[in-house]
Every structure is written in structure tokens, then in C-alpha cells.
């Protein structure tokens, strides 16, 4: 039975979160079910191209417009400031109605913030992509800790697979296996969009691989960065490299005197952080990807694209021992992958059922 009186709030902090909740938001919008989007301001999501995938819904409430200083202390200060602002601003929203649902995603500090604010005002907390674990508190950090906290605050857990569901056996709340990550719906929406990156025309029919390295635990190790870049330069002699460079990556390469030589290398195309739609189109057509991004691991598993994951641990099982190789920062594993990447190619995944539809349907037909 449809719940007309329920109020739904999507609590979003980062572009990565937005990418994975946008197909669920689209379901609400397409079915004319009222909802609001709350942005913490951890990333600026109101100008993200990802919003196009749901016909540009409005960001109703923005808790912070202040830039976060690129440091652990800066993030902590921002979090507490935004948390108290959010607690004050959202009080009126949540006291208007008893049937409120706050929908959070993943493992960011914004996810924790949303779940905590929800609990303060006795709002039902819905966690999408629940149950992922690396079983290592410090890797990835603070994501593993964020997930543990949020799992303890959640009323409805939407898990992307049976493994994630089992990980929550000691937790309270309703647990639902959506069979797939909502990312599979995001990919479908992105690939059906007409946008393409402008520099893709220059690549033409040229074969290329993608390289992304942006996590602080990797960039903080100059020796690791130099070793991997050396491997990338060597591989680019036979297969062109599209190096998607985050601001922090660029700054690191500049500090260790590598950036200049990469800019002059004709075998490497340096591009800034790409809009989601462009990034997905690039990945779907690449030979392979070398990345330290967890979401990239999932995306590559759905595409069947060979992926070298530059991590020692991962909280995701998608693609592991199939198209995804965990590097463990071992030069031998890294070198073996680039030599034999073709053996990791797999067929793309066809989702039998939409996880976003499952989430939407459950929230509409059930009440806590």
C-alpha cells in the first residue's frame, strides 16, 4: 500500500554518493513521489552533470558552502560545524511530520552526519550500499569506520549482495538484498546519454588505457607514486594512456618533479577530473584501467573491463578474481597485470532486476 504521508530526504555529501543515488532519485521523480535533496557541501553537487540523469532535480537544502581545507584537521572542523548547522536547520523539517525517512549512501563522513541527525530527530535511517567491509579499521580510512557507525544507526539496510547482507547479521534493522549495486542503474543512464568528452575525438580509434590515482594513502608515498608512474610511462609506449588527474594528484606530481615530464609525453593524455557521464563512456571503451578508486572497481566489474586496483585492501567483492586484480602495491603483481591484462576481460553484466526499482518499491509499499 502506497504511503502518501511519508517524507523522503536524500542526504548527499559527495559526487560519488550522488552518482549512486541518482537512479533512486529518478524513480521518485518519475513516479511523482515528493522528496527533498539535502547537500552537506562536502562536494559541490548542485552543478554536477550527474543531475542530468534524473532531469536536473533541485538541491533543496545546502548545509554548507564553505570550502574544506585539504587536511584531516580541516575535514574535522568542517564536519562539526556542518553537523551543528544541519541539526539546527533540519529541526523544523523533521518535526513537521512523524513519517520521515532520511536516505544516506555509502561510507563518507557525510553519510555518518546524515544518520546521526536522523537519529537525533527519530527519523527512519535508510542506508543504501550497506554491509560492505574491508575488516581493517585503518584501510580504507575513515570509510571502514564510517560504515560501522552508520550500520549501527540504520533502520533499513539495502545491501548490494548476499555477502554484504551476511556482514550485517549482528546489526538491528530490516536488511534487504538488492542483488546489485545501484551503480548498475547509474551506468545504464550514463551510457544512454548523448554527452561525450571533447578530447575523445582526438583519440579517434586509438586504443587506450585509463589511469587514476587519487587516494591520500597512495599519494603520501612518493616512492610508490614514482614506481607506478614509471610503469605507466613504459606501458604507454604501446598503449596510449588517458591519465585522469585529480587536483591532489597534480599537486603531488608537481612536488616530486614528475608532472613536467608527463605533460611533455605524447603517449599520455592528461585530463582533469571528468564529469561522470564522460568518465563512464571512456571506461566502457578502454583496454583496461589502473585505479585506486573503489567505485571504479565496481564500474569495471559491470563493464567487464580489466582493472588493476591500487590498494592493499578493498571493502568490495565485485570483480575480484575475475576482471579485478588487487595490486597490494606489489610491483610484480602490477607488472604482470599490464603484460597480461587481456586475460582479465569479461562479458559485461546484464542486471536482471533494477536495484533502484527495488529500493523505491520497498520504501513506497512498506512503513516502519
How confident is the prediction along the chain (368 residues), in pLDDT tens digits per residue? 456 589 999 999 999 999 999 999 999 999 999 999 999 999 999 999 999 999 999 999 999 998 787 778 889 999 999 999 999 999 999 988 889 999 999 999 999 999 999 999 999 999 999 999 999 998 888 999 999 999 999 999 999 999 999 999 999 999 999 999 999 999 999 999 888 787 777 788 899 999 999 998 999 999 999 999 999 999 999 999 999 999 999 999 999 999 999 999 999 999 999 999 999 999 999 999 999 999 999 999 999 999 999 999 999 999 999 999 999 999 999 999 999 999 999 999 988 899 999 999 999 998 77
Closest CA to 197 of 272, 270, 263, 274: 274
Q: Please check whether the domain covering 200-273+287-344 is classified as CATH 3.40.50.2000.
A: yes
Closest CA to 28 of 316, 359, 264, 339: 359
**For the chain, which residues make up each domain, given as ranges?**
7-182+353-365, 200-273+287-344
Whether 316 and 297 have beta carbons less than 8 Å apart is answered as yes
Report the C-alpha dihedral over residues 144, 149, 150, 153, rounded to 10 degrees.
160
Phi/psi at 346 (nearest 5 deg)? -130, 170
Cell of 273: 577530473
- Alpha-carbon distance of 7 to 35, in angstroms, equals 6
Query: Residue 52 class from Cβ within 10 Å (0-12 exposed, 13-18 middle, 19+ buried)?
Result: middle
What topology is assigned to 7-182+353-365 in CATH? Rossmann fold (3.40.50)
Amino acid at each position: 500500500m502506497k504511503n502518501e504521508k511519508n517524507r523522503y530526504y536524500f542526504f548527499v555529501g559527495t559526487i560519488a554518493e550522488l552518482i549512486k543515488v541518482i537512479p533512486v532519485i529518478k524513480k521518485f521523480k518519475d513516479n511523482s513521489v515528493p522528496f527533498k535533496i539535502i547537500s552537506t557541501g562536502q562536494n559541490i553537487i548542485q552543478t554536477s552533470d550527474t543531475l542530468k540523469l534524473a532531469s536536473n532535480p533541485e538541491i533543496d537544502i545546502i548545509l554548507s558552502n564553505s570550502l574544506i581545507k585539504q587536511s584531516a584537521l580541516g575535514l574535522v572542523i568542517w564536519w562539526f560545524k556542518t553537523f551543528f548547522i544541519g541539526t539546527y536547520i533540519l529541526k523544523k523539517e523533521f518535526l513537521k511530520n512523524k513519517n520521515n525517512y532520511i536516505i544516506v549512501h555509502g561510507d563518507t563522513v557525510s553519510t555518518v552526519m546524515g544518520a546521526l541527525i536522523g537519529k537525533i530527530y527519530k527519523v527512519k535511517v535508510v542506508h543504501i550500499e550497506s554491509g560492505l567491509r574491508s575488516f581493517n579499521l585503518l584501510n580504507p580510512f575513515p570509510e571502514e569506520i564510517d560504515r560501522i557507525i552508520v550500520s549501527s544507526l540504520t533502520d533499513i539496510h539495502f545491501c548490494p549482495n548476499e555477502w554484504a547482507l551476511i556482514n550485517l547479521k549482528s546489526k538491528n534493522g530490516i536488511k534487504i538484498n538488492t542483488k546489485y549495486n545501484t551503480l548498475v542503474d547509474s551506468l545504464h543512464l550514463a551510457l544512454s546519454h548523448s554527452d561525450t568528452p571533447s578530447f575523445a575525438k582526438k583519440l579517434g580509434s586509438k586504443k587506450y588505457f585509463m589511469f587514476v590515482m587519487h587516494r591520500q594513502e597512495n599519494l603520501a608515498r612518493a616512492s610508490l607514486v614514482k614506481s607506478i608512474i614509471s610503469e605507466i610511462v613504459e606501458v604507454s609506449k604501446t598503449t596510449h594512456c588517458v591519465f585522469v588527474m585529480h587536483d591532489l594528484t597534480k599537486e603531488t606530481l608537481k612536488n616530486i618533479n614528475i608532472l613536467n615530464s608527463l605533460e611533455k609525453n605524447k603517449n599520455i593524455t592528461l585530463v582533469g577530473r571528468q564529469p561522470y557521464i564522460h568518465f563512464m563512456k571512456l571506461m566502457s571503451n578502454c583496454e583496461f584501467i589502473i585505479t585506486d578508486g573503489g567505485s571504479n572497481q565496481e564500474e569495471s566489474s559491470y563493464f567487464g573491463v580489466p582493472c588493476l586496483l591500487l590498494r592493499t585492501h578493498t571493502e568490495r567483492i565485485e570483480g575480484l578474481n575475475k576482471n579485478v586484480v588487487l595490486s597490494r602495491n606489489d610491483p610484480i603483481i602490477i607488472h604482470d597485470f599490464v603484460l597480461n591484462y587481456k586475460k582479465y576481460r569479461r562479458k559485461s553484466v546484464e542486471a536482471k532486476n533494477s536495484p533502484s526499482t527495488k529500493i523505491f518499491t520497498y520504501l513506497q509499499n512498506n512503513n516502519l
